[in-house]
Amino acid sequence: MKHLLTDEQYAQYLSDGILVIQPESLDEAFHDHLYRSAQQIYALVENSRSNTAHLDIIGDSLRARIPEIDRLFADPSVSGALSSVLGDSYVIHPHNFVHKSSDADQVFHQDGNLPWNERGHYRAHRPDWALLFYYPQEVTDENGPTELILGTQYWTNDFEKPDGTWHSFDGIDRAFTREELANEDLSFRDRRLNESVASLGIPNLQRKFVTVPKGSVVLCHYDILHRGSRTFLEAADRFMYKFHFMRTQEPTRAAWRHQPEFDATEYMRKLLPEVQPIVRNIWNWSSNTESTALVSKSLAEVKQSLFSSNEAKRVEAAYLLGEMQSDAAVDVLLEGLTHAEESVRRSSCYGLKISGSAQANKILPFMGNQRVSIRRLAVYALGESANGLNVQVVRALLAALTKDQDDLVRSNAAYAMGQILRCKDADFSAVIDALIQRLAPGVEPNNTAVALFPRSTVRQSIAYSLLQAACNHEFSAAQIEKLLALTLEDDDRYVQGFAIEITRQNQNLSAKSLDVLLAALSRLRLSPRPAALNSAS
């Protein structure tokens, strides 16, 4: 039986962005086995001397190499926490990795939302994603603990470049260099790290080294600022397994162990004022409760904050305006959407996203804007499940997905369509057909080779969208056949992985689909190191 989170734990997850969990069903022998497995993987890497070992040996094959690892996900406390945060129908993402700490320091950063720090869509404030870190050994101050800045998951950096391209990595401070992080003077490194945190402009932020007992799991909001910290000389290897999980359905009720007498308003009052409206809005969305505006300031004051230079103030203002759902508030947000500063445009987009389906048509004209930066945000803002009933929105997103020249517009349009496909009350079979067709060879060509392998951020977003569709609507046997025919040969391993998960959601597979799947299994199966060898070594 799953052990769901309490109200306090869920509220803490939304405010701090992190929860530490002790898996109760796993013993010392399990953790030792996972520790030895990580050592063996890194020994293979060292022996291979391959510059693609991160792909061939470490990345994305952990569940095949160490099949026992699925016991971690089945643990009652781990699965209960995942269900509480993401809803019962969460799905594991095909990307995974095991990190080994080193004497280097990392800069505080947010992971790219596609594997290997690629960018597919604007950051989701709601718990649509979660990072699961597992530590098979104790983590101490000496062996390179992960360091987090609590509550930073709702803020981010500008990433657009003047030529229309973009930074894919979101470091806290883009001026921070690799050389500074490798500086032998450790006090210099620490000073630079302190400066980078101060640059956020938010007093009293809490930094936290994640020192945890052996076998702990840390569940994090995907976008929390974090970094790997340096090890000290004599420390034994410290490993951290990393997995991504995704929500696939819109919440219809609280997925955690909610007690009606819990006073969420009282809890929110203890949080930083800047995050209160965000946490309140997400809490209400998670429990499928109507959010009402709690604004003590005038519209002019809130507008001034939206247009200010402080990220926390801007995002707070955007949520206050979005919750008002009034014409006047939406007009301010639309003015923000075309502002000269990327940060103001981006914050305004989050406000528009929660402004209610009645206001959605006002965003539509911005999808045809000449400025690519505005089109990217307009499509993202429309990605609300309730907009699934708005034929104009669905049609416009499909047009952006198929016709816009900008990869990030198409990728965001696919992602937004994924949120829309959570709407169970409309027939999306034509949309599903169109999405599958976009995965045909050559339609969306590979557009990145970061980390030394070619793949497509847009096809990955389309595959995500189809997964959302599959978890909320039944595909026809012909749709699955076509999906498998197009994707099992895809050279993007994540598109392939999604295709399997999409198929897994479907109830009626044709004999042809089963044959294609079994042929792929026969061809692709990786033979992990036998358990008997593991225990003998």
Q: What residues make contact with Fe ion under the rule CB under 5 A?
A: 111
Q: Which is nearer to Fe ion, 111 or 147 (CB)?
A: 111
Closest approach, Cβ 155 to Fe ion, in A, equals 16
Encoded tokens for 136: 């098979």
The 10 Å Cβ neighbour count of residue 369 is 15
> In angstroms, rounded to a whole number, what is the distance separating the alpha carbons of residues 235 and 517?
45
Structure tokens at 344: 């103001």
Nearest to 113 by CA among 166, 69, 68, 67: 166
With b for 16 or more beta-carbon neighbours within 10 A and e for fewer, the 376-403 pattern comes to: bbbbbbbbbbbbbebeebbebbbebbee
DSSP letter string over 150-205?
TT-TT-----B-TTS-B-S-EES-TT--HHHHT-S-HHHHHHHHHHHHHTT--TTP
Measure the CA–CA gap between 483 and 177, rounded to whole angstroms. 43
CA 427 to chain centre: 27
**Closer CB to Fe ion, 108 or 366, in the complex:** 108
Question: Smallest gap, in angstroms, from Cβ of residue 222 to Fe ion?
Answer: 10
Q: Which residue has the tokens 């803490």?
A: 12
- Residue 27: partners with Cβ closer than 8 Å, 6 or more residues away: none
Which is nearer to Fe ion, 224 or 462 (by Cβ)?
Answer: 224
Tell me how far, at minimum, the Cβ of 55 lies from Fe ion, in Å: 17
Q: How far apart are CA 273 and CA 313, in angstroms?
A: 9
Nearer to Fe ion, 111 or 407 (CB): 111
Closer residue to Fe ion in complex, CB, 123/375: 123
CB-based burial of residue 206 (10 Å sphere; 0-12 exposed, 13-18 middle, 19+ buried)? Answer: exposed
Q: How far apart are CA 343 and CA 308, in angstroms?
A: 9
The least distance separating Fe ion from the CB of residue 526, rounded to whole angstroms, comes to 25
Q: How far is the CB of 109 from Fe ion (least distance, A)?
A: 6
Nearest distance from C-beta of residue 316 to Fe ion, angstroms:
26
Q: Which position's Cβ is nearest Fe ion?
A: 111
| Shortest CB 110 distance to Fe ion, Å | 8
Interatomic CA distance for residues 418 and 412, integer angstroms: 10
Taking the least distance from each CB to Fe ion, the nearer of 107 and 467 is 107
Residue closer to Fe ion (CB basis): 98 or 330: 98
Distance of closest approach, residue 101 Cβ to Fe ion, in angstroms: 13
Provide the minimum distance between the beta carbon of 385 and Fe ion in the complex, in angstroms, as a whole number. Answer: 29
**Which residue number, 2 or 242, has a Cβ lying nearer to Fe ion?**
242
CB of 518 to Fe ion, least distance (A): 37
- Give whichever of 60 and 111 is closer to Fe ion, judged by the CB atom: 111
Burial class from Cβ neighbours inside 10 Å (0-12, 13-18, 19+) for residue 20 reads middle
Min dist. Cβ of residue 173 to Fe ion (A):
15
Whichever of 226 and 493 has its CB closer to Fe ion, that residue is 226
90: left (phi over 0), alpha (psi -120 to 50) or beta: beta
Q: Which is nearer to Fe ion, 148 or 467 (CB)?
A: 148
- Listed in sequence order, the residues at least 6 apart from 144 whose beta carbon sits closer than 8 Å to its beta carbon are 101, 102, 228, 229, 230, 231, 235, 238
Q: Least separation, in Å, of the C-beta of 389 and Fe ion?
A: 38
Number of H helices, E strands in the chain: 23, 10
Q: Closest CB to Fe ion among 36 and 54?
A: 54
CA 374, chain centre distance (Å): 22
503 neighbors 480 (Cβ within 8 angstroms): yes
Separation CA 333–CA 341 (nearest Å): 13
